Amino acid sequence: MGLLDETVSVPRRTMTIFFLIDTSGSMEGNKIGAVNDAVVNVLPMISEISDTNPDAEIKVAALEFSSGTTWLYDEPKLASDFVWQDVVAGGLTSLGQACQDLSAKLSRSGFMKSASGSFAPAIILLSDGGPTDDYQSGLRKLKDNNWFKAAIKIAIAIGDDADKDVLKDFTGSSEAVITVHNIEALKQIIRVVAVTSSQIGSKSSTAGDTTKQDQVIKDVQDATKNIDGAEGGDSTSANNVDSSQYIDDWG
Amino acid sequence: MTNAFHYSCEGESHKATGKVCQDHSLTCSVDGLTVAIVCDGHGGERYFRSDIGSKCAADATLEAVTYFAEQVGDTLFENKPFTAVGPTTTLKDAKDLSAVDKAFRQLFSSIIYRWNEKIKQHAQTVAITEWEKANVPPKYLEEFSKSESFEKQYGCTLMAYVQTPTYWFAFHIGDGKCISFQENPIWKEPIPWDDRCFLNKTTSLCDTSAIEEFRYCYQGDGHFPWAILLGSDGLDDSFGETDNLANFYVQILKMLANEGQPATEASLQETLPQLSKIGSKDDMSVACVYDDTALHAHVVDLIQYQINLVTDKIHNADSRIRSAKKKLSSYSKLKFLDEKTKIEISYAKKEVSSSNEERNNLLFKHDSLMGQLSLMLSKNTKE
Amino acid sequence: MELKPNDNVTLTIGTSAKVIKELGRGGQGIVYLVELAGQQMALKWYHNPPSDAFYKNLEHNVNAKAPSDAFIWPEYLTEKQKGSYGYIMRLRPNDYFEFGNYLLAKKSFKSFDAMLAAAMKICDGFMKLHLHGYSYQDLNDGNFFIRPTDGDVLICDNDNVMPQGEMSGIMGKARYMAPEIVAGGRPDKYSDRFSLSVILFMLFFANHPFEGAKVVACPCMTEAFEKKFYGSEALFIYDPTDKSNLPVRGVHQNVIRRWPAFPSLLKETFIEEFSADKLKNPNKRIIEQGWQKIITQVRDELVVCPHCHEETFLDLKAGSHSCINCGKDIDSTKQLKMNTRSMILTPGTKLYIDNDNVPDGEVGVFPKDNKLMIIRNLTSAAWHVDTPSGKVKVVEPNDFMPVLNGLKISFGSSIKGAPGAKGEIIA
């Protein structure tokens, strides 16, 4: 009897990539079409990364949110097994509910079953507008979740009406929010973000100084420079005031 | 009789980059005092002397607990029931500290102090080596040169188990797992976990408030585990669920009972490197303390536990097959199949075939275990 | 014998109190919630009745008044009954927490301001205690309850307070006792002063002044070691010449992190108070008013950083003007000078002229020009200001005045603890 006989299982580690897709009414038409097209095309790429990666296998889970929320499947599926079903747009933008659902699944009893043998997940949020529900309490709950804290988080803001502050709040930094202004850019960015997150997310990291989140952001930002109609990050400003005869009076 | 053994081996990923094994384990059983220690040096480039750090930590701990056991052990733990204490942050009030808690705090402070002194001595006597100059990023070499306390470069985790004829205690800072085997439940993790150890993050002796991050447990009422195994995270990361790790440990205990310690140690020396290759790629360490009388008496219970586990899994596979088949039969009644349904059908078919395959594997395991059980039972009746 | 809910205990004044429930217990006795004449109060009931001499002392304390309102003082004494006795005191509000919690960082001060207020109040308590002729006998971290938001302090367990020179027979914890008491001497106000220095050190640095490398070198603390490290061989962790007891990384993190943040004035006082000279010569130890002066000067150096808006100490003695949080340089040229004191002015900084822990002034900026600082009058009476050109301006309560060079302020009667105080602005 060997120690590693048939009774012992040594499972392959898992990295899960989550797509959170805004399917509200405003996404109707070209935008949702582009999302469907992009995801269908990126799945084989993710599958290839999974197959050639000795460290981990990559699984995919997708949640669409509009007036309600729906997981495309009730458990994450291997990228090679994941058959994409086109999502349809219509309704409001329940981001808060989406956060609650995601938080529930980011647990050992949810989608993160082989806990100690897993890598931090990657979460990609796509939205073109602002939340119509109480997203703050949903997000607060999500932020308390250890898996969410460790996850690679990227948001893709589709168009100028997207609420970038909310997306910044979700991802934790403005550099992790990429804004796209046209359909081609949307498709390309989805591909870049999904591929980069999968590559970096599924590697065994050494406890170095650059987090996986930062590495992904850097690579995505670099790629964004070459894509027409995409921009990453943002900036801020401040101001000042002037003087009086109050001083004279006290002289 | 209480015996102990340990083994550490270099991780597959370390072999690839020319790094040495950064784990260090030790066991020792002298004059009724048995000690098992596992230390795991951090792998990042910043922690380039963590192999020395883990050895220093193991040595410092052995010195400190030996003195501690001699001086205060018997009186401190007399008649105490099993008690587990999490990292200090879980204590509600300063008033909650008992004499045992204060004594442990003193012990841990002393271990940290001794570790600091040992690594300082090493840092001050061993200059940056040629290998280090060539392989460590300059900013970390600079950090080392400027440092006064050197804790980062030598950073590691620490897990220890101490047993005497009248009591036992165990403590832990960082990741890795400690699993004990006893009457009920058959296996458990006696030392509380620290949620700060998550994925590849861990608490460590090199943390600024290391004293607050120790977790511990103790028992002085005459009950002892049949066996206890300390493993570094290279081991538990290879198995995913802790259930799988416990199962691997059961294998080790069965081998100890059936084939004896030398054969088991030899097997571990062969197996652990293989495990690193197919699993975590990380350094692997295991230290074990066991009572061979208790083990012989309970080997049958261990096999039964494995059988129960496999039986449960078979039932799960069965119910998955049933519900997938149910779905398929309901779909077959439909006249028109849309895209979504077609996909559901293909998933359900995949489920049936993969669950069947799993079921067959499990049946194979079940048979093997039943064989082992009947062999054991007939041995017992012969004796 | 222990009490149960609904038990009645008779008091020496004739009435009785009814036990409602147990609130907590310690080494000496149990504290119960009781009702007396319609009011809820606390009753401390001893496990083992201490001596008659103790009872007499308690009686004396009950009849005398508390030295100040910071003390939760014995107010009523019970008759000796049910095999023991006890005393009644007012309830402690539940937003005050035992000092020990601050040491373990289970609770922390909201601000340095609150921390300094607590230090000031404790000094004041000791001072008043000694003024009334008492001394502590059993000092430990259970005596002090502190409110983290503002540093207000309540001093409890005053049943062990005795006239100076007498012994209650209750020994305090070695950690707080002066070396000469650890060796068996009689507690008095000089040994109290040692304890005060220890308590203040622990308040600021959350670490005992003698607990460093020497104390953790040994894996177990025994009574013999305690007597050595806190008594005969006590060595201050930051002793300038002997570095063998320095704080240990990973264990004494509180003091390692905080020591650099505080002004030299404070640090040098501690080095002095814990030097071998003062340990051996009790009558050389700093008196309470001395500590209050130091705390006042330290508070004068506590400002709000104009860059990051966090509290920071400046260290004029060492010539340091950088913020401990953001590292940026702070302009410390604008000051309010009073006698030997120099209060540094930055927007947001509070000014404490006397020792009552209530800010007397606050620095702000002029509404239309945030480069001009102003000082707002937070007292309840007017200040009078002489300008360089000879004018006299009045600053009513809540009104403000500018921070301009040469303005001389007369605080008049507006500051209770410092009547007739005067100051000048240097800018």
Look up residue C230 and give its two tokens: 């806190």
pLDDT at C119: 95
Domains within chain C, CATH numbers bracketed: 8-89 (3.30.200.20), 97-291 (1.10.510.10), 333-426 (2.60.200.20)
Phi-psi region of B5 (alpha: psi -120 to 50; beta: other; left: phi over 0): beta
Task: Characterize the bridge pairing of strands A152-158 and A122-127.
Answer: parallel
pLDDT at B95: 65
Tell whether A5 lies on the interface with B, counting CB pairs under 8 A: yes
Q: Tell me what the mean pLDDT of segment A108-131 comes to.
A: 81
Is B242–A116 a contact, with Cβ atoms under 8 angstroms apart?
yes
With a cut of 60, say whether residue A108 has pLDDT above it.
Answer: yes
Helix (H) or strand (E) holding C279: helix C276-280
pLDDT at B93: 61
Query: Whole-angstrom Cα distance, residue B336 to residue C387?
Result: 96
With a cut of 60, say whether residue A243 has pLDDT above it.
Answer: no
Q: What are the chain A neighbours of C400 within 8 Å (beta carbons)?
A: none
Query: Whole-angstrom Cα distance, residue A213 to residue A219?
Result: 10
Query: Whole-angstrom Cα distance, residue C121 to residue C117?
Result: 6
Token match 């027409």: residue?
Answer: A228
Domains within chain A, CATH numbers bracketed: 13-234 (3.40.50.410)
With a cut of 50, say whether residue A116 has pLDDT above it.
Answer: no
Helix (H) or strand (E) holding B290: strand B284-291
Closest-CA residue of B relative to A212 is B200
- Nearest alpha-carbon partner for B160 in B172, B176, B146: B172
Check if CATH label 3.10.105.10 holds for domain B2-292. no
Closest-CA residue of C relative to B211 is C251
Which of A243, A250, A251 has its CB closest to that of C369? A243
Q: Worst-scoring range by mean pLDDT, A228-232, B188-192, C85-89?
A: A228-232
Q: Of all residues in chain A, what percent are helix, strand and coil, respectively (each to 5)?
A: 40, 20, 40
| Residues 220-239 in B contacting A (C-alpha not used; CB under 8 Å) | 236-239
Q: Tell me what the mean pLDDT of segment C370-378 comes to.
A: 92
Q: Which residue has the higher pLDDT, A117 or A28?
A: A28
Q: Tell me what the mean pLDDT of segment C355-378 comes to.
A: 91
Query: Whole-angstrom Cα distance, residue B181 to residue B253?
Result: 10
Alpha helical stretches, state H, C142-248: 179-182, 189-205, 213-217, 223-227
- The parts of chain B modelled with pLDDT lower than 70 are 88-96, 383
| Long-range residue pairs from C310-315, CB within 8 A, at least 24 positions apart, any chain | C311/C111, C311/C112, C311/C113, C312/C261, C313/C112, C313/C261, C313/C262, C313/C263, C314/C263, C314/C344, C315/C263, C315/C264, C315/C265
pLDDT at A250: 67
Q: Which residue has the higher pLDDT, B13 or C116?
A: C116
Per-residue DSSP letter, B188: E
The domain spans of chain B are 2-292, 304-382
Token match 């559901």: residue?
Answer: B344
Q: Which residue has the higher pLDDT, A199 or B174?
A: B174
Helix (H) or strand (E) holding B139: helix B138-146
pLDDT at A91: 92
pLDDT at B107: 96
With a cut of 70, say whether residue A235 has pLDDT above it.
Answer: no
Cα R_g (chain C), whole angstroms = 24
- Nearest alpha-carbon partner for C373 in C408, C321, C335, C422: C335
Count of residues in chain A: 251
- Residue C343 and residue C327 in contact, taking contact as beta carbons nearer than 8 Å: no
Q: Most A CBs within 10 Å: which of B135, B193, B239, as the mutation test of the A interface? A: B239
Confidence of residue A244 (pLDDT cuts 50, 70, 90): very low
Count CB atoms within 10 A of the CB of residue B134: 8
Where does residue C285 rank: exposed (0-12), middle (13-18), buried (19+ CB within 10 A)?
Answer: buried
pLDDT at A199: 82
Which of A1, A114, A207 has its CB closest to that of B241? A114
Q: Most B CBs within 10 Å: which of A77, A116, A212, as the mutation test of the B interface? A: A116
Q: What are the chain B neighbours of C251 within 8 Å (beta carbons)?
A: 109, 112-113, 210-211
Per-residue DSSP letter, C229: I
Count CB atoms within 10 A of the CB of residue B30: 8
Phi-psi region of C38 (alpha: psi -120 to 50; beta: other; left: phi over 0): left
Look up residue C267 and give its two tokens: 């640090």
Phi-psi region of A91 (alpha: psi -120 to 50; beta: other; left: phi over 0): left
pLDDT at A207: 43
- Measure the CA dihedral B19/B278/A207/A42, to 10°: 130
pLDDT at A246: 63
- Nearest alpha-carbon partner for B175 in B328, B337, B285: B285
Query: Whole-angstrom Cα distance, residue B267 to residue B251?
Result: 11
Q: Most B CBs within 10 Å: which of C245, C251, C254, as the mutation test of the B interface? A: C251
Taking the alpha carbons at both ends of chain C, their separation in whole angstroms is 68
Instruction: List all residues 6 or more positions away from C126 whose beta carbon is below 8 Å from its beta carbon.
Output: C192, C193, C196, C288
Q: Which residue has the higher pLDDT, B259 or C157?
A: B259
State how far the alpha carbon of C349 is from the alpha carbons of A53, C122, C300, C412, in Å: 58, 23, 9, 22
Nearest chain B Cα distance for residue A228, angstroms: 35
Tell whether C66 lies on the interface with A, counting CB pairs under 8 A: no
Where does residue B250 rank: exposed (0-12), middle (13-18), buried (19+ CB within 10 A)?
Answer: buried
Tell whether C80 lies on the interface with A, counting CB pairs under 8 A: no
Query: Whole-angstrom Cα distance, residue B187 to residue B194?
Result: 19
pLDDT at C49: 86
Is C387–A250 a contact, with Cβ atoms under 8 angstroms apart?
yes
pLDDT at A210: 67
| Residues 251-310 in B contacting A (C-alpha not used; CB under 8 Å) | 251-252, 254-255, 258, 267-268, 271, 274-275, 278-281, 306, 310
pLDDT at B374: 92
pLDDT at A233: 64
Please report all neighbours of A, defined by 3+ CB atom pairs within 8 A.
Answer: B, C
Cα R_g (chain A), whole angstroms = 21
Which of C101, C218, C253 has its CB closest to that of B93? C101
Is B208–C222 a contact, with Cβ atoms under 8 angstroms apart?
no
Q: Write the DSSP string, B82-105.
A: PEEE--GGG---GGG--HHHHHHH
| Residues 345-364 in B contacting A (C-alpha not used; CB under 8 Å) | 346-347, 350, 361, 364
Tell whether B198 lies on the interface with A, counting CB pairs under 8 A: yes
Tell whether C213 lies on the interface with B, counting CB pairs under 8 A: yes
Look up residue C168 and give its two tokens: 């209650």
Query: Whole-angstrom Cα distance, residue C234 to residue B31?
Result: 36
- Nearest alpha-carbon partner for C400 in C368, C426, C427, C361: C361
pLDDT at B356: 93
State how far the alpha carbon of C250 is from the alpha carbons of B37, B200, B213, in Å: 20, 22, 10
Count CB atoms within 10 A of the CB of residue A159: 16
Alpha helical stretches, state H, A161-245: 164-171, 183-201, 212-225
3-class SS at B160?
strand
- Nearest alpha-carbon partner for B205 in B94, B66, B47: B47
Cα R_g (chain B), whole angstroms = 24
- Nearest alpha-carbon partner for C249 in B120, A150, A140: B120
| E strand intervals along C37-125 | 39-46, 76-77, 86-89, 97-98
State how far the alpha carbon of B61 is from the alpha carbons of B51, B87, B357, C250, C301, in Å: 16, 18, 48, 15, 45
pLDDT tens across C19-65, in order? 999 988 877 889 999 999 999 999 999 998 888 888 998 899 899 88
- Residue B171 and residue B194 in contact, taking contact as beta carbons nearer than 8 Å: no
Q: Tell me what the mean pLDDT of segment C362-382 comes to.
A: 91
Is B88–C104 a contact, with Cβ atoms under 8 angstroms apart?
yes
pLDDT at A237: 22
Helix (H) or strand (E) holding C30: strand C29-36
- Nearest alpha-carbon partner for C414 in C374, C377, C376: C377
Q: Tell me what the mean pLDDT of segment C176-185 comes to.
A: 85
Confidence of residue A239 (pLDDT cuts 50, 70, 90): very low
- Residue C80 and residue C55 in contact, taking contact as beta carbons nearer than 8 Å: yes
| Residues 222-241 in A contacting C (C-alpha not used; CB under 8 Å) | 240-241
Handedness of CA B359, B362, B367, B368 (dihedral sign): positive
Is C402–A243 a contact, with Cβ atoms under 8 angstroms apart?
no
- Nearest alpha-carbon partner for A24 in A88, A91, A87: A91
State the SS3 of B253-271.
HHHHHHHCHHHHHHHHHHH
**Single-letter code of the amino acid located at B133:** K
Confidence of residue A247 (pLDDT cuts 50, 70, 90): low
Q: Tell me what the mean pLDDT of segment A169-190 comes to.
A: 89
Instruction: Lay out the sheet containing B177-181: strands in order across.
Output: B2-9, B284-291, B227-231, B177-181, B187-188
Is B103–C257 a contact, with Cβ atoms under 8 angstroms apart?
no
pLDDT tens across B63-86, in order? 999 999 999 988 999 999 999 998
Tell whether C25 lies on the interface with A, counting CB pairs under 8 A: no
| E strand intervals along chain A | 13-22, 56-65, 69-71, 77-78, 122-127, 152-158, 177-180, 230-232
Mean pLDDT over all residues of chain A? 83
